[in-house]
Amino acid sequence: IGEEVIRTVGPMELIGESHILDTDLNTASIQLAQEAVVLLIDKDKFYELLSKNHRMIAGIMQIMHSKFEQSATTAMQEEVIA
């Protein structure tokens, strides 16, 4: 299977947060360009944390909204180019 760079993330950025909210089984892999500390959290623990921290919910909603807007903007730009 070929490799494709979908996104490069920096310090304190999230990856995979939308998949943990999805009910379907999703798999993805990441490759580190340099040494990093990565937090891996399973769905049950994630939901437990959300139930106790409303600021975390608001933060994730902001991140997902920003990603949605970026995707929509990119799609519109690609449509104009095509």
DSSP per position, 41-56 = --HHHHHHHHHH-HHH
State if pTM tops 0.85: no
Can you say whether residue 53 is alpha, beta or left, with left for phi > 0 and alpha for psi between -120 and 50 degrees? beta
| Span 25-56, pLDDT tens digits | 666 677 888 888 888 888 888 889 889 999 98
What is the model's pLDDT at position 28? 67
CA–CA dist 70, 52 (Å, integer) = 29
